[in-house]
Chain A
Amino acid sequence: MQMAAELIRKDSLQNVRAADGKTQLFRMAVYPESDRGCFLSLLTGFYIEADGIEIPSAAQYLSLHGQPMRRIEQLRTQCWEHWDPREEAWLYLEGHLDPGMHAIKFAEGIMSGLFKTEDSWLENPPQPGFGWHGSSRRVSEYELELQKDEAVL
């Protein structure tokens, strides 16, 4: 149901320098698509393409509430930790971006709602961007410029 609001802060795309000097990551600041937010347990991941390359949820990490970044799989147990509307979270992704503009496709996977859903999704949740509920089918497209400064992890 996201209509006009941006899900990614436009000036937030940046590479990340990991402490071990080896891991390659980049990140962007993202917002929940629902105006009621969601419990983190409902988040199944993000559909992301960066310059035409899809980044699987296993290579995605979320950081919010002052916590270090967590794998999407780790969020499954956060049944009462709420991602509030307009609350910014950092989405970390494995990979490295070159300077300049980047084409980002983005959708959130949130298993919200009550009864018009399938129990089988408990074992095999639908993938974000696949079109299973609400606007998760809506893949937003962004042209974002990589920030010059690197974030340090």
Chain B
Amino acid sequence: MKRGVSLACYRENTMTGRLSLSQELDLIRNCGAEEVEAAGEGLIPHYPYVTDAFASGWKGMLKNRGLRAGIMDSFIDRFQFRTHSMTHQEMVQHVEMDLSLAASLGFSQLRLMHDLPIEVMRDALPAAEHCHVRMLDEILEPGTIRRCGGRKGEECADIMDLIRSTGTEYLGLLVNLEILQNQPSSVELIEPLARTRGGRARAEQEAARIYAGFHDMPRDAFFDFMHAEYPELSSNEELLQRMFGVRIFGDSVQPEDLREAAPYIGAVYAYFHFMTENGDGSFDEPCIPYRRALSILHDSGYDGSLITFCMGSSQQAFGEGIDDICKGEQDAVARNQKMLQQLLASLN
């Protein structure tokens, strides 16, 4: 497997101007990663009008660092035209446009929005083949791989069916390993608890108590427990939904499911919420069974990309200031890459 990093991981560094594009690429190279993922809309000045100067500059920056353009992200905004909701044909044209842009910038794969209709992907296939850029449908939480009555489970199976029926090499799955998350992230618990319970040490004790309840209690009992004991958390509806989402989908998505999907996977997101330090120089993401997942992918013959990816990466930093947050982002990516490097080495 080849390691890569999504530039989205450096979001705060980018948005605050702390890091330039070339500095972010330096960090990625220093992690030993080979591939870069970028959102076309965020990368290309005056998107979608890419200039030859920008394209050659981008390719030069990658080449000088020994990096490759891996995945370009494609976004579609339904109300872009404001007079009407985007039609099927307009969505196809948008994907075709991004395929062409991706090709011009040297990307080999294009990540599509997870809720893009499969019919759009099907109709954009000729353009993907023409551009030699593979389209990827992201399977992300709360998605599943197996058919289980859930929309994303169905969609994943439908994509595999489409690939089989067309024999195309230009459509694949982008599996976000967040779907394997089997417990709430500590960062979602500790940060708010530290504010209300008098500091980080106490918050960690309380988080351990919540984890015990999460794993041992029936769903309703755990819900009551949270409301009674931790009103500062249970009043956060989004957090509770995510926690119960993990309870529900944590049972229905297992690492073993990756075996069936492996032949159709174009890339894997090595997603993380919070990278912990084990004290021996190694790192871990305790919410996601990485070792098992990578072992299964390896045994299944998957040799594609493994991309460090996160949303809200500033969660890695508990500090209040922008400097802390930006430093936290950089550290988190380096930790995730180190973890992947160690796990992959142990497989070979």
A residues lining the B interface (CB < 8 Å)? 1-6, 31, 35-39, 41-42, 76-77, 79-80, 82, 84-86, 111-117, 119, 121-122, 125
Contact B15 A5 (CB under 8 A): yes
B41, B45, B78, B79: most-surrounded residue (chain A CB, <10 A): B79
- 29 inter-chain pairs at a CB distance below 8 angstroms, sorted by A residue, are A2-B15, A4-B12, A4-B16, A4-B314, A4-B322, A4-B325, A6-B16, A35-B8, A35-B11, A35-B14, A36-B39, A36-B41, A36-B73, A37-B42, A39-B77, A42-B79, A76-B82, A80-B48, A82-B46, A84-B46, A84-B47, A85-B15, A86-B15, A113-B78, A114-B113, A114-B116, A115-B78, A115-B115, A122-B84
Complex CA distance for A69 and B340, rounded to whole angstroms: 49
Instruction: Determine if B75 is an interface residue (Cβ-Cβ < 8 Å).
Output: yes
Contact B85 A114 (CB under 8 A): no
Q: Which residues of B contact A4 (CB under 8 A)?
A: 12, 15-16, 314, 322, 325-326
Number of contacts between A and B (CB, 8 Å)? 93
List residues of B (103-124) whose CB comes within 8 Å of A's CBs.
113, 115-116
B residues lining the A interface (CB < 8 Å)? 8, 11-12, 14-17, 39, 41-42, 45-48, 73, 75-85, 113, 115-116, 311-312, 314, 322, 325-326
| Given A3-B11, A37-B47, A114-B113: A79 touches B325 (CB 8 Å cut-off) | no
Q: Which residues of A contact B15 (CB under 8 A)?
A: 2-5, 31, 35, 85-86
Contact B80 A79 (CB under 8 A): yes
Complex CA distance for A38 and B312, rounded to whole angstroms: 19
Q: Which residues of A contact B41 (CB under 8 A)?
A: 36-37, 82
Contact A119 B85 (CB under 8 A): yes
Contact B312 A3 (CB under 8 A): yes
Contact B80 A3 (CB under 8 A): no
| Given A36-B41, A84-B47, A116-B115: A3 touches B12 (CB 8 Å cut-off) | yes
What is the interface of chain B mostly: helix, strand, loop, or mixed?
A: loop
Which A residue sits closest to B41, measured CB to CB?
Answer: A36
Contact A77 B11 (CB under 8 A): no
Q: Which residues of B contact A36 (CB under 8 A)?
A: 39, 41-42, 73, 75
Across the A-B interface, the 9 shortest Cβ-Cβ residue pairs: A5-B15, A36-B41, A36-B42, A4-B322, A5-B16, A111-B79, A4-B325, A4-B12, A3-B314
* Min CB gap B148→A, angstroms: 21
Which A residue sits closest to B317, measured CB to CB?
Answer: A4
Contact A122 B77 (CB under 8 A): no
Q: Which residues of B contact A6 (CB under 8 A)?
A: 16
Contact B39 A35 (CB under 8 A): yes
Complex CA distance for A1 and B12, rounded to whole angstroms: 10
* Min CB gap B11→A, angstroms: 5
Which A residue sits closest to B76, measured CB to CB?
Answer: A114
